[in-house]
Amino acid sequence: MSHLILQSPSLMPAHVEQVAAIVSAAGVQELGATAVRLLEADESERSVVAAYCDSNGMDYAFLPQIDLLRERRILAMDMDSTLISIECIDEIADAVGRKPQVAAITEAAMRGEIKDFAESLRRRVALLEGVPESALLEVYEQRLRLNPGAERLVATARQHGLKVLLVSGGFTFFTERLRERLSLDVCHANVLEVADGKLTGRVNGDIVDARGKAARLAELAAELGASREQIIAVGDGANDLEMMALAHYSVAYRAKPVVREQAAFALNFSPLDAILNWFRLSY
């Protein structure tokens, strides 16, 4: 028997009752206005629960036990479309009227249709040649928004002793500003080459791709002595899968189908801080 956490921005009692009946739950605990915990849930009904939740705008998580958040060690997150609501490279391209071309490559890469992320990034960055560096600050100040629940998730994780890793196939211009804004512990991303105040259309150094993301997480885990069970990893695109495979709590956030299929958990409707309801925040 498992605990089953149900969450939705508009959680309906009738839907909770229906899922409780499906899993023969022994009881229901309210976790707030948007979440409940069903006790002694029959996990063999997972496929039925998944279909019901998807059609009724709910997220679900089967958990054999509810662990203390403070016993996790790492929260690893992707940036674009995970921690933040935009794909930065698409918005930079918009400054020179090339957003459709760049966004099409981004979408194909995130869906896993383009297998070589590094090559897809080079193709997209090449289209940014000549963009003034000032456009990056405009994207950060005018278009970049944290996804709902991001700030509380990060702050709570840090309060409970987790190290927060932001590892991105995007750019250091944005990760470094988010590091300062959210007091992130470690950030890794790609470096855009700039000359005479304009982007050259090239990336400096090694590209942080799927393998690079996983390597950065593995390095931090080794440094902290963190086991797989102590890692939470959140992403939305195909280039997050290798990183997410290193985490017991692999979370697909508003993710592409290929990511939802392979992740242990998914948040299709709830904000990022819904992850906190899977853990005990105190004894």
- The pLDDT tens digits of the residues spanning 22-33 come to 999 999 999 999
pLDDT bin (cut points 50, 70, 90) of residue 96 is: confident
pLDDT at site 273: 98
Range from 88-102, 167-181, 218-232 carrying the lowest mean pLDDT: 88-102
Q: Report the chain's mean pLDDT, rounded to a whole number.
A: 95
**Is 80 exceeded by the pLDDT of residue 169?**
yes
**Is 80 exceeded by the pLDDT of residue 160?**
yes
240 as an active site residue: the answer is no
pLDDT at site 264: 97
Chain CA centroid to CA 137, Å: 23
Range from 50-64, 87-101, 191-205 carrying the lowest mean pLDDT: 87-101
pLDDT bin (cut points 50, 70, 90) of residue 189 is: very high
**Is 70 exceeded by the pLDDT of residue 8?**
yes
From the candidates 54, 59, 67, 80, which is the catalytic residue? Answer: 80
What 8-state DSSP symbol labels residue 147? P
Radius of gyration of the chain (CA): 20
80 as an active site residue: the answer is yes
**Is 70 exceeded by the pLDDT of residue 283?**
no
Question: Does domain 1-66 fall into CATH 3.30.70.20?
Answer: no
Q: Is the dihedral of CA 172, 178, 179, 184 positive or negative?
A: negative
Mean pLDDT over 99-114 rounds to 88
**Is 90 exceeded by the pLDDT of residue 106?**
no
Taking each helix axis from N to C end, the angle separating 150-159 and 172-182, rounded to the nearest 10 degrees, works out to: 60
Provide the 10 A C-beta neighbour count for residue 201: 16
**Is 90 exceeded by the pLDDT of residue 111?**
no
From the candidates 42, 54, 59, 78, which is the catalytic residue? Answer: 78
